[in-house]
Amino acid sequence: MLSRAGASRPTEPPGPAPPPTVPSPSPAEAAAALERVRSSVHRWLDRIADLASSLAEAEHAWARRCASLEEELDRRQREFEAQFEALELDRHQLALAWERLEREQVAAPGSGSRLADEPSRLAPPSSVAPPPSSATAPPATRHDPRLDDAVNRTIVRQFEALRKDVRRTAEARGAHSP
């Protein structure tokens, strides 16, 4: 590089600029500034500690709530399973009763009740002679409408008894459920 005077002499590159001179604070001012910084840091630390404490409390409350909900879910699941088992038992009993009723109807030719199983009600004893008017009609065509009424009444009574049992059971379960 050339100097201003035109002479060719190498000059040293300019170095970093010297830092600006800042007047040094007095020790009292420096102590006050440090105290403000310290106070600010303590406030921030206190705030962080409060937030951490709040977060821990919230996590604890959340864990309690989750545990409570899981217990409620387990309780309801047990109740549901018990009610389902009771319903299945009732369904099974109803199916058995229905099958028994159908068997009774099939077992009684033309009548549909237990009356067919009791020959003393259906036909006169073999030692008693039939009345003279029955000799004219063949036995297969004779039909007593009173038997149908008795059968129908028996079936209705059985059905009503079954219905009452089902209602009583349902009411008993309803009284125990929440």
Tell me how many domains the chain contains.
1
pTM over 0.75: no
Q: What is the pLDDT along the chain (178 residues), one digit of tens a residue?
A: 455 555 556 666 677 777 777 778 899 999 999 999 999 999 999 999 999 999 999 999 999 999 999 999 999 999 999 999 999 999 999 989 888 888 888 887 665 444 444 444 434 444 444 444 444 444 445 555 666 677 788 888 888 888 888 888 878 877 554 4
In a domain, 5, yes or no: no
Owning domain of residue 157: 29-119+146-176
Residue 10 half-sphere exposure toward CB, CA atoms < 13 A:
2
Any domain includes 7: no
The answer to whether residue 152 sits within a structural domain is yes
Report yes or no on 12 lying in a domain: no
Name the 3-class secondary structure at 8.
strand
Task: Read off the amino acid at residue 9.
Answer: R
